[in-house]
Amino acid sequence: MTTQRHYSPIDRLLLQADAAMRTLLPFSGQPYRPSPAIVQPDAQMSDEDTRHVAGLMRINHTGEVCAQALYQGQALTAKLPHVRAAMEHAAEEEIDHLVWCEQRIHQLGSHTSILNPLFYGMSFGIGAVAGLISDKVSLGFVAATEHQVCKHLNEHLEQLPAEDEKSRAILEQMRIDEEHHAESALDAGGFRFPAPVKFGMSLLAKVMTKSTYRI
């Protein structure tokens, strides 16, 4: 028989601080799965294509920073233990995506976005507020966010050069995982957000993608 450890509020704040550091500090995250890019061949790309792919992967990396913050914020304020556990498990899976994107960015000779701390703080706050409102809203926000991520991944997959099989393998696995997270959140009782809310989320996502493509 196993017992579940109960953390004090201070313990949880310290855990959140540790998660933030592991998310934002370069090469500090440890993936649970190896990158799908490992088994794919290296490809020669033009300088222009290399810069473009690096920009796309930088956007996806920042998206994963936001996902980490969102889940951590929701886990902090979730009311039901099983919802908190689900958020923490999803955050663990997103670490894989975070590290895969970071590795690929550096393989392309580029850098992650300097705006990541700003977006982490904003996303953490949104997640925490959603969790305070209700677990149903929190889960619904996860589903809506993941659907938005899948839309971006599809757009990026269409823009990748045909020869860049490494980036493609990463984004395709990310899409599979994000779709699963979205459906799991809805199956757990997540609220289906109306179109106007989704439109507002889409506008915020555009701000993130436009700003992090180069910086």
pLDDT tens per residue, range 75-127: 777 777 777 677 767 777 788 999 999 999 999 999 999 999 999 998 888 88
**Is 165 labelled a binding residue?**
no
Burial grade of 25 (CB within 10 A; 0-12, 13-18, 19 or more): exposed
How far is the C-alpha of 151 from the C-alpha of 169, rounded, in Å?
Answer: 17
**Is 94 labelled a binding residue?**
yes
- Residue 58 identity: R
**Is 92 labelled a binding residue?**
no
Summarize the confidence of residues 46-63 as an average pLDDT. Answer: 95
Name the one residue in this structure whose structure tokens are 């493609």.
168
Question: For 160, which DSSP code?
Answer: S
Alpha helices in 29-134 (DSSP H): 47-77, 81-107, 116-133
> Domains of the chain: which residue ranges?
43-213
Give residue 68's pLDDT band: very low, low, confident or very high (50, 70, 90). confident
**Is 97 labelled a binding residue?**
yes
**Is 106 labelled a binding residue?**
no
User: Percent of the chain beyond pLDDT 70?
Assistant: 85
**Is 64 labelled a binding residue?**
yes
For residue 103, how many other CB atoms are within 10 A of its CB? Answer: 19
Q: What is the mean pLDDT of the chain?
A: 84
The residue that leads in pLDDT, 195 or 139, is 139
Q: Which CATH superfamily is domain 43-213 in?
A: Ferritin, core subunit, four-helix bundle (1.20.1260.10)
pLDDT of residue 2: 41
